[in-house]
Structure 1
Amino acid sequence: MPQTPPLHKNPFRRTRNDHAQETAEDYVEAVYQILCEQDTCRAKDLALVFAVSHVTVHRIVARLQREGLLETAPYQPITLTAKGKRLAKKARQRHDIVYRFLLSIGVTPEVAANDAEGIEHHVSQQTLDRFEQAIE
């Protein structure tokens, strides 16, 4: 029988905290990517990326503005603050490491891209470091 890992005090706390950050990371990463590909990012661009309504995008963008990650005004493009740009680059780097690791163990590019999108938000720095070592 395979050995199961020991349970730690409140083992689900980290997962709950990760989920709280996941939307913020996804949105700043998407804004960063859109701005790299075109001059501006608008709510409609994010609605297309996430397949959600404009109302959902506006609600999340407003929250991320309050958190100091995004800047926008009515009928104006969405931009990243310095804090948002740092978070976007960190999320992109985590995604790339997980994606490359999955490719290195034989996962197909399409599956690796999909899996990396979920794993990147929940992998510890120690595990991420080991993924990176394994790739090199």
Structure 2
Amino acid sequence: MAAVRIQQKVQKVQQEQHVQRAPRKKQKRSVRWTVGEKLVFVSFLAFALYSSVTIISNQFTIYHVNKEVQQLQANIQEQEKQNRDLYVQVQELSTYERILAKAKELGLTLNENNVKVVQD
């Protein structure tokens, strides 16, 4: 009887070894992040978000400033053109012949003894 019990124990051990030798299914390992890793990751995300918003904000501001500069340059060019046109008009209206004609039209006469030459 003792031999039967020993033989049964040996068979159980062999069966257990046979069961243990069966290929194990790979279990998915769940990734465990430590508090420090989470803090670093969240800090990185916050920095990336802040940097993105800052860059976009600065680009938006630069765009508007450039637009204003271009508008001011266009206004300056328009004003310079008007100034040149007015200068030409002043030169045309201040000719000696025109002033003399306008004076005669208003009934003034030219007294050559009373004329003084003024130079700029």
Indicate the TM-score class for this superposition, using the shorter chain for normalisation: under 0.3
Q: TM-score, normalised by structure 2?
A: 0.25
Structure number with higher relative contact order (C-alpha < 8 Å, ≥ 6 residues apart) = 1
Name the TM-score, length of structure 1 as normaliser: 0.22
